[in-house]
Amino acid sequence: MIYYISSERLSIQDVQRIVFEKYKLGLSEESKQNILKCREYLDTRMESQKTPIYGINTGFGSLCNVKIDDKELTTLQENLMKSHACGLGEEVPEEVVRIMLFLKIQSLSYGNSGVQLETVQRLIDFFNEEIYPVVYTQGSLGASGDLAPLAHLCLPLIGEGEVYYNGYRQPSEKVLEQKGWEPIQLKSKEGLALLNGTQFMSAYGCYNLMKSLKLSILADIISVVSLEGFDGRIDPFNHLIHDVRPHQGQVETAAYITELLEGSELIAQPKENVQDPYSFRCIPQVHGASKDAIRYAVQVIETEINSVTDNPNIFIDEDLIVSGGNFHGQPLALALDFLGIALAELGNISERRTYQLISGLRGLPAFLVSNPGLNSGFMIPQYTAASIVSQNKQLAVPASIDSIVSSNGQEDHVSMGANAATKTLRIVDNLTRILAIELFNATQALEFRRPLKSSEFIENFVKNYREEVQMVQEDRVLHYDLEKTIAFIESLTVEVEE
């Protein structure tokens, strides 16, 4: 399958399909012409214009007033690539690198960046041949673009840096030789076009959202298992309550949970308790608010991945080369911080439901085990959940409220969106673990409600889970059950509306 890069608008779901269903990339004729015309315009402009143009025949950052001789423009761009490749920390996951490659190709295809067609085609070759540059998580301030990560992403174009290929980490130069490819000879502006951009933040944003959209739905399903195990009430999901406070996420969550409970014997039986704790009663309000935050993040990230984010920008029809700030990651930084806070809250309320389930309430045995005392049962998984929830609270402190002056004061406000991006992925992964602990507890609680059954959907969901994790009759090493539960959650496919 081939996806042809064009100006057609991309959604998060499009990116997920193209990147992870192993599409090959190609350039549409429209994109080829955009790239060729822009490069031709820039070459012609360079022949006639002798005054400095930022990033094309000048130094970079606070060195913007230093004019560079035309004979040294290739060296200028290569030096930029090499000097900016100073990332540190953990390696960026392969999935995110793959998204970065795709988004960088997409952004360069609009014809406002002045790159050579050969440069874009080589990036496509890397994507199609599964040659993934080694990129590091630390180094970007989220302004002036994701300079350090994108330098590492694009170094292999000139035969520098390292890549993963055929399962091995190896020098880029070696892989280029294997493929019979010559290093790209960068022309004016190309290094800056490759390094200026928000593809590190955007790729993490896409990846975080792919996981978040799935987890927000699974949080609803798992909360229903908990509700049934806790012998909770259906009243708080009555549409009348939500019609008079119609936040979109709240209304959708209440309707979905009502649908999940359809046909349940447990929810229909008479209840002794008049009200449920907030962690059950307020699921629509809390889960719904997080869904609305996710929806906002989708809007921001989708705008970004359909944009030109390097600098300066070339406008052929207007005969202008304009230096601006489209590389600044502030929109992404705020959205990613908001997303992290919203996901941390899904974990926060999930742990509270777990706590209620082990508390010996509503006819459930203390710690969800038949012989408490001799058995500690589910006492300590809640500790684990609480520990992870606390870590998420720390990670959810906004990165976007910080800024550190750089480049001798030229770049005097930065977004720190890259830090928002990477720590939000940690929150996402932590949320998966927290929901796994809730599912582990909730299915155990449900067993104490037998022979009554939940809805057909929930019973099938629990049956599939029970094929991986059996009910706990007496104490055993629970780590393995939790690992299996995490694997179960990660294996599930959830249909997400665009």
Residue ranges of E strands in 61-133: 88-91, 132-133
Query: Alpha-carbon distance 192 to 204, whole Å?
Result: 21
The Cβ of residue 212 has, within 10 Å, a number of other Cβ atoms equal to 28
212 contacts 80 by C-beta, under 8 angstroms: no
Rounded CA separation 252/249 (Å): 5
User: Measured in whole angstroms, how far is the alpha carbon of residue 474 from the centre of its chain?
Assistant: 39
3-state secondary structure of 185: coil
Distance CA 341, CA 296 (A): 13
Residue burial 387-420, b: 16+ Cβ < 10 Å; e: rest? ebbeebeebbebbbeebeebbeeebeebbbbbbb
Backbone angles phi, psi at 327, to 5 degrees: -80, -10
Give strand pairing partners of 320.
Answer: 315
For residue 198 the two structure tokens come to 């928000």
Catalytic residues: 54
DSSP state of 129: T
